[in-house]
Amino acid sequence: MTEFAILCVDDEEIILDSLKEQLRRYLKGDYRVELAENGVEALEVLAELEEEGIEVPIIISDQIMPGIKGDDLLAQVHELYPSSLKIFLTGQAGLDAVGNAVNKANLYRYISKPWDETDLHMTIREGLRRYNQDKQIQEQNEQLQHLYAQAQIDIKNLRIAETALTHARDELEDRVKERTAELESANASLRETVGDLNSFARTVAHDLKTPLSVMMGYADMLGEYGNSIESEQSMLMIQRIHTTSKKMVSIINELLLLASVRREEVQFHLLDMEDIVYRAYDRLSHLFAETGGSLEVVALPRNAGGYDSWVEEIWVNYMSNALKYGGIPPVLKISGEYFEDENQVAFWLDDNGPGLQEAELEQVFVEFNRLHENRAKGHGLGLSIVQRIVRKLGGRLIVDSEVGKGSRFGFTLPVFQEETTFNQE
DSSP-assigned letter for residue 258:
H
Residue 343 gets the label, from left (phi > 0), alpha (psi -120 to 50) or beta, of: left
CB 135 within 8 A of CB 143: no
How confident is the prediction for the chain on average, in pLDDT? 82
Q: How confident is the model at residue 249 (pLDDT cuts 50, 70, 90)?
A: low
Beta pairing, strands 109-112 & 54-61: unpaired
* Gap between the terminal Cα atoms of the chain: 37
Q: CATH assignment of 265-423?
A: 3.30.565.10
Judge if 3-115 and 265-423 fold alike in CATH terms. no
Tell which residue, 305, 316, 285, 273, has the closest CA to residue 409: 316
Residue 225 pLDDT class (50, 70, 90 cuts): confident
Mean pLDDT is lowest, of 52-61, 144-153, 311-320, 370-379, for 370-379
pLDDT tens sequence across 54-109: 999 999 999 888 999 989 999 999 999 999 999 988 877 678 888 888 888 888 99
State the average pLDDT over residues 236-249: 71
Residue type for 414, please? P
CA angle 413, 419, 424 (to 5 degrees): 60
pLDDT of 372: 42
205's CB contacts (< 8 A; 6+ apart) are: none
Number of C-beta neighbours around residue 348 at 10 A: 19
Residues in the chain, overall count: 425
> Which of helix, strand or coil describes residue 365?
coil
List all residues 6 or more positions away from 157 whose beta carbon is below 8 Å from its beta carbon: none
**Is 150 or 198 the better-scoring residue by pLDDT?**
150
User: Looking at per-residue confidence, does 1 or 45 come out higher?
Assistant: 45
Q: Following DSSP, what letter does each residue of 58-78 receive, concatenated?
A: EEEE-SS-SSS-HHHHHHHHH
CATH class for domain 3-115?
A: alpha beta
In this predicted model, what pLDDT tens digit does every residue of 168-178 receive, in sequence order? 888 888 777 88
Please tell me the distance from the alpha carbon of residue 10 to that of residue 61, in angstroms, as a whole number. 6
Every domain of the chain and the residues it spans: 3-115, 134-263, 265-423
201 versus 374: which is more confidently predicted? 201
Q: What per-residue string of b and e applies to 116-145 under the rule 16 or more CB within 10 Å gives b?
A: eeeebeebbeebbebbeeeeebeebbeebe
